[in-house]
């Protein structure tokens, strides 16, 4: 399965545009989608948020790991 570019934005308070779902070159008003499709949009957004959080956590852990390795290296006998 390949990744398909997908974006769905919340309409900002300053915008009168309804939230849209964009997949590839096509856009769809989310409110006009069937309920099942709207639930899938929410699930995709949830997945994207979780992926972002996990990437951030992985970055923090990689920094911590490098720091710990440097600390260990400094404490090893010459």
CB-based contact 20:30 (threshold 8 Å): yes
The values of phi and psi at residue 14, to 5°, are -85, -5
Q: pTM, whole model, 2 decimals?
A: 0.72
The string over 24-48, giving b where at least 16 C-beta atoms fall within 10 Å of a residue's C-beta and e elsewhere, is eeeeeebeeeeeeeeeebeebeeee
The pLDDT of 5-27, averaged and rounded, is 77
**pLDDT tens readout for residues 19-54:** 999 999 999 999 999 999 999 999 999 999 999 999
Give percent of the chain with pLDDT exceeding 70.
Answer: 82
Q: Say which DSSP state 31 is in.
A: G
């Amino acid at each position: 399965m390949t990744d398909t570019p997908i974006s769905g934005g919340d309409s900002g308070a300053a915008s009168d545009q309804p939230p849209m779902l964009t997949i590839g070159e096509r856009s769809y008003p989310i409110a006009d989608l069937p309920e099942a499709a709207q639930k899938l949009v929410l699930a995709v957004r949830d997945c994207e948020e979780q992926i972002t959080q996990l990437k951030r956590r992985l970055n923090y852990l990689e920094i911590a790991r490098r720091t710990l390795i440097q600390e260990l290296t400094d404490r090893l006998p010459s």
